[in-house]
């Protein structure tokens, strides 16, 4: 399988993601400059975390207007896999590849910690190695992770199985105390209608080796491999 990892000015998780794909998953991977448009030969594009273009205007806004993001829109329309992590999630919402928006955390602070997540839909290219209701432990690190979408759209997303991950406590309970940023209904990750585009605030690449304290991020990354096999 051939992965491409997007690199925007200000990306800072691009090489982390690249190394996990190359050294842990042992898959073919390349870094892709934000000015490139020739991406059809990839099977999955990953938009990594960071602060693309310094988060000026809004996080992800400037990156959403680059040549690479324009090509990613066409790539996604063809049904190929796209995953946006943290800032990558913000870019995908700004590019209208995913519904909703990411706002500043409700408490106004940057949050960086391990976070429990409950898998709401295990029937996607990104979660097929999970079980519905499974609890994952994956780090978060963001200032603008407060996911919001209007109620009508949210109902449609829930009916269509687009709510993929929710913040929870260690027992899987969806509570206000377990919500690190104020996201509506504790939402931590969503997909588009076709399920080939996935955005999440937690960082699976930071949870892919036992030395880091959790390998739960591999459930997501290996799901991509299983889907493509």
- Catalytically active residues are 86, 203, 205
Q: What is the 3-state secondary structure (H, E, C) of the chain?
A: CEEEEEECCCECCHHHHHHHHHHHCCCEEEEEECCCCCCCCCCEEEECCECHHHHCCCCCCCHHHCHHHHHHHHHHHCCCEEEEECHHHHHHHHCCCCCCEEECCCCCCCEEEEEEEEECCCCCCCCCCCCCCCEEEEEEEECCCEEECCHHHHHHHHHCCCEEEEEECCCCCCCCCCCCCCCHHHEEEEECCCCCEEEECCCHHHCCEHHHCECCHHHHHHHHHHHHC
176 Cβ contact list (under 8 Å, min separation 6): none
CB atoms within 10 A of CB 78: 8
């Amino acid at each position: 399988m051939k992965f491409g990892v997007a690199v925007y000015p200000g990306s800072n998780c691009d090489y982390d993601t690249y190394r996990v794909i190359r050294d842990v998953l042992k898959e073919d991977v390349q870094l892709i400059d934000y000015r490139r448009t020739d991406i059809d030969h990839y099977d999955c594009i990953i938009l990594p975390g960071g602060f693309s273009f310094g988060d000026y205007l809004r996080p992800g806004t400037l990156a959403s207007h680059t040549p690479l993001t324009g090509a990613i829109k066409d790539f996604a329309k063809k049904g190929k896999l796209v995953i946006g992590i943290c800032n990558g999630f913000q870019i995908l919402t700004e590019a209208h590849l995913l519904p909703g928006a990411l706002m500043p955390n409700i408490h106004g602070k940057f949050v960086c910690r391990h976070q429990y997540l409950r898998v709401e839909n295990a029937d996607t290219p990104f979660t097929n190695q999970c079980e519905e209701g499974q609890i994952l432990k994956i780090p978060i690190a963001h200032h603008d992770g407060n996911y919001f979408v209007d109620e009508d759209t949210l109902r449609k997303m829930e009916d269509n199985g687009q709510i993929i991950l929710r913040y929870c406590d260690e027992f899987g309970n969806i509570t206000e105390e377990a919500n690190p940023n104020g996201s509506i209904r504790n939402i931590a990750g969503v997909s588009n209608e076709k399920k080939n585009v996935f955005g999440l605030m937690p960082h699976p690449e930071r949870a892919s080796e036992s030395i880091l304290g959790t390998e739960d991020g591999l459930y997501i990354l290996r799901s991509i491999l299983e889907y493509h096999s």
